Amino acid sequence: MKVGIVGVGCSKFGQRDVTIQELAFEAVSEALKDANLSQEDVELSVVGCVGTRGYELMPAVVVNEYCGFAGKGPLRVEAACATGSAAIYSAYSSIKAGIVDIAIAIGVEKMTEVDTATSAAIGGRAGNYLWEHHFYGTTFPAYYAMHATAHMARFGTTEKQMAMVAVKAHRNAMKNSKAHFQKEIVVEDVLNSRIIAYPLKLYDCSPISDGASAAILASEKMITEHGWDPIWIESIGFSSDTSNMTMREDFVGLKATKLAAEMAYKRAKIEDPLKSFDFATVHDCFTIAEIMAYEDLGFCRKGEGGKFIENGESDFGGKIPVNTFGGLKGKGHPLAATGIAMVYEVTKQLREEAGKLQVDLKHYKALTHNVGGTGHFCWVFIFGR
């Protein structure tokens, strides 16, 4: 049984003065309207919410009630920054199993309820709290700074190349009205911004954002009955890695990404991603993360990610446009909303509804890559129309 995306919605990302349930409803109402459905048509609601920075300890309860899914939401999922993809997978699996025909995946996060220092401390617990954060005070930027310095030392990757990732993200986000950042920047702005964890500077880091996204999934049978033109979920890959960073093989990439990609490619019979996809969305929580993603996903060889961005290969007109809506860096990163916001982007692009950010379509296929923690989780989805 095939499963497709038939409706998507996304709130405005940024610092939002609304409740978590109001935020979720922005995305849910848009998704329902997009699919021409009502709450009564939805059989299952899967809410993704990390919830570590919000005031609701059980956010799925209030979200489902406010959005009209009380009685249909027995499930809340969490996979750190990959929570949105976990929600999509849970809804997908329920349909594949024949339990329901229509399900909604909701990702929502209120990140700005705590101050920056508290948020950074919470993020530092995304790995192994007792071994790393408790004893050594690691934070999320520090983890990726370790990856950046390792990549620079081994391959000669430069701070300027990482800055180019941020410039591209902001340039695309400027044309996305729902993006957190609406300001274009240049390389010098990134290089001159204050250091957060060397070599990562302020503009190398994704913002602390509130936001929500939603996607409605349906079975092939229901798609035929409704006459929808869906975006099909063609393949899924997933993996994870050790909680303790000292047990990793190296720090120049994310093993979980490589394994998840290999699984997704094998199932979809993808041999060369550059000849298979029109564009991709990758998890660029920090600029070095996007460079490593190019390599781990097979867009270029290991160590060539810096040159890939420098030569414009991940921009419009390059070998594969990446993060056309601004990515986590420019669009924003409300943890659980991120993975589903990637599906929103894919759906809009493959339907040719992306406006000024529309890519040229040849294969009508796209990839999403969503990482949780510092490669502690990873999901790779392949979509087609």
CATH number of the domain within which 64 lies:
3.40.47.10
CA distance 274 to 266: 15
- The answer to whether residue 365 is domain-embedded is no
Q: Is 333 a catalytic site residue?
A: yes
- The answer to whether residue 316 is domain-embedded is no
Contact 381, 367 (CB under 8 A): yes
Which pLDDT score is estimated for 304? 98
Q: Which two tokens stand for residue 242?
A: 């050790």
- The answer to whether residue 240 is domain-embedded is no
C-alpha torsion angle, residues 263, 284, 86, 378 (rounded to 10): 30
Q: Where are the beta strands (DSSP E) in the chain?
A: 3-10, 44-48, 75-77, 102-109, 195-197, 200-201, 211-219, 231-240, 279-281, 365-372, 377-384
- Catalytic residue, candidates 49, 81, 205, 378: 81
- Catalytic residue, candidates 170, 333, 369, 376: 333
- The answer to whether residue 12 is domain-embedded is yes
Contact 127, 372 (CB under 8 A): no
CA distance 242 to 186: 37
Q: Which two tokens stand for residue 228?
A: 């929808």
User: Which residue is associated with the tokens 């790995």?
Assistant: 127
Greatest alpha-carbon pair distance for the chain in Å reads 57
User: Which residue is associated with the tokens 């027995």?
Assistant: 74
Whole-Å CA distances, 90 to 48, 76, 208, 209, 356: 10, 10, 26, 24, 33
Say how many domains are in the chain: 1
- The answer to whether residue 360 is domain-embedded is no
> Which domain does 69 fall in, by range?
3-114+208-226
- The answer to whether residue 173 is domain-embedded is no
SS3 (DSSP) at 219: strand
Provide the whole-model pTM: 0.96
Q: From first to last of the 385 residues of the chain, give the pLDDT tens digit.
A: 899 999 999 999 999 999 999 999 999 999 999 999 999 999 999 999 998 787 788 899 999 999 999 999 879 999 999 999 999 999 999 999 999 999 999 999 999 988 887 777 677 667 777 777 666 677 889 999 999 999 999 999 999 999 999 999 999 999 999 999 999 999 999 999 999 999 999 999 999 999 999 999 999 999 999 999 999 999 999 999 998 888 899 999 999 999 999 999 999 999 999 999 999 999 999 999 999 999 999 999 999 999 999 999 999 999 999 999 999 999 999 999 999 999 999 999 999 999 999 999 999 999 999 999 999 999 999 999 9
- The answer to whether residue 331 is domain-embedded is no
φ, ψ for residue 268 (rounded to 5)? -95, 0
In this structure, the number of other CB atoms found within 10 A of the CB of residue 370 comes to 30
- The answer to whether residue 220 is domain-embedded is yes
φ, ψ for residue 320 (rounded to 5)? -155, 110
Contact 173, 331 (CB under 8 A): yes
